[in-house]
Chains A and B, each alone.
Chain A
Amino acid sequence: MRREHIVVRHVTKTYRTPSGPVHAVEDVSFDVYEQEFLTILGPSGCGKSTVLGMLGGLVRPDAGTILIDGAATDGPDPRAVAMVFQDPGLFPWRTALHNVCFGPEVRGVPRRVREEEARRLLEAVGLKGFEHKYPRELSGGMRQRVAIARALALGSPILLMDEPFGALDEQTRLLMGEWLSEIRARARKTIVFVTHSIQEAIALSDRIVVMTARPGRIKDVVPVGLPFPRDLSASAAVALRARLWEQVREESLRAMTEGQG
């Protein structure tokens, strides 16, 4: 078996809100292997994003440990972990090129070096010729690709993606998924991907972690084991989809009836 890249053990997070405590994540444990594509699947508000935020050092767990390369996390470490969010969060005053440069810039990489690297990455995400466009001049899919290039510019072995295609229309979403599979094959990254889309999870992942409705616990870990490129109409994919839907349906129903959906 491959080496564990990320180890999550008994992690718990409760948010204090004016209307009382919200148990976002409770006793979650899982591993992510090196160069694995792991998807966290679950209903809305099940604490998926909280788990990802903790992996990225943005959210501090109340209890439990998170080890990355065997070391405990303490705040964001962009050399090890890069993040992509549902909202691309591009800086509107920066061109595509200078958005991609941001990470290396705050790290003190010389301008020539970081711009050259940013050009290369924009070309890799299919945005050659858009270097000097501002985010408002780009489509939703293009913006998210700039955000992915910006994350790749950190050069970290781990990429965390929080519903990165959630805000895109169905077609763009499918194309972006195909494109991500290609990128992934070349970039040799460990990827943790959060989504509520079963199709997306099956199309992209090596393993799928299914989370329960709040408080988020792990319900099941499902290996996908289908060859790439994936044919979602193959019988194995359809069967997997039915199994996952059964589990997600239960949790979504529970979330709905508890008024949390």
Chain B
Amino acid sequence: MRLLLWRAAFLGAALAAWEVIARPLNPVLYVAPSSVPGAVLRLLSQPDLPPLAEHLGITLRTIAAAYALAVVVGLGLGFVMGFWPLLAQAYEPIIAGLYAVPSVVWYPSLMLLFGLGPASKVAFGFLLGFFPVVLAVLAGMQQTDRHLVTVARSMGASRWAIYWKVMLPAMAGTLASGLRSGLALSTVGVLAGELLGSRAGVGFLINHVYNLLRTPEYVALAVLVAAVVLVIDVAAGRIEARAKQWSG
């Protein structure tokens, strides 16, 4: 509760400072916080703008598709590599290396391959979200307490049973961290893709109002995106904390 108060105090102070600084300046370049609620209302009532709910829906669906792909491929590849240690030894350094490359450099080629539509955004969101997932699987497997595996073996657990009943629960915390990072990065990928060139989605909407110099709406959209992402991440953080506690 006290923490919440401190956070609220900081937020309030920041907004107040922003307001005081922005007030006397050009409202197109310096959007005061007080002008944001009005902009939100204008976005929602959309007298002259593309429908917000529809574009938000498109973005969320694109993120969901990109993330689902990242999770399925990431987990699949991670477990295959975990099952055959030689594969992990051969390819983990390559995956880790690719992860370190700023992924934006791939985006133009993805646009060429997949076009301006949602496919290129899904591809980019997938590309960003995939790495933390697969790396978390590999890290989780390496971190599993060997003694627990020995104990399970002494009780007659098969290789599969050791995977499902020992390694998977033991790495749940690490895996949840990877899945959370993957979600955040998939979101970044999709939004960045939309901002870099698209015909639909929140990123498109942001570009649209920005080009019309409707900066209060632009700030309102940015705040909206931040709020949505924050809610998702807080939920993911809760799940991660529970997984960590569970797997001990």
Chain A contacts to B: CB under 8 angstroms: 56-58, 76-79, 82-83, 85, 87, 89, 91-94, 102-103, 105-107, 134-136, 150, 154
Contacts and interface: CB of A to CB of B under 8 A. Distances in A.
Interface string B134-159: 00000000000101101111111110
Contacts of B247: 92-93
Contact of B151 (A89, A92, A93): A89
Nearest to B154: A83
Contacts of A89: 145, 147-148, 150-151
A58 B148 CA distance: 13
Contacts, number: 61
Nearest to B247: A93
Please provide the 3 A-B residue pairs with the shortest distance between their CB atoms, ordered closest to farther: A92-B248, A78-B156, A89-B151
Contacts of A83: 151, 154
A76 B166 CA distance: 17
B154 A93 contact: no
A154 B169 CA distance: 22
A94 B166 CA distance: 10
B246 A106 contact: no
23 contacts: A56-B154, A57-B154, A58-B153, A76-B153, A77-B156, A82-B154, A82-B155, A83-B151, A85-B151, A87-B147, A89-B145, A89-B150, A89-B151, A93-B246, A102-B157, A106-B152, A106-B156, A106-B157, A106-B158, A134-B248, A136-B248, A154-B155, A154-B156
Contact of A58 (B154, B157, B170): B154
Majority-rule SS of A interface residues: loop
Nearest to B153: A76
B154 A102 contact: no
Given A93-B248, A102-B155, 20 more contacts: A58-B150, A58-B154, A76-B153, A76-B156, A77-B156, A78-B154, A79-B156, A85-B151, A87-B147, A89-B148, A89-B151, A91-B148, A102-B165, A103-B155, A106-B152, A106-B155, A106-B157, A106-B161, A106-B165, A135-B248
Contacts of B152: 102, 106
Contacts of A56: 154
A79 B155 CA distance: 9
Contacts of B166: 91
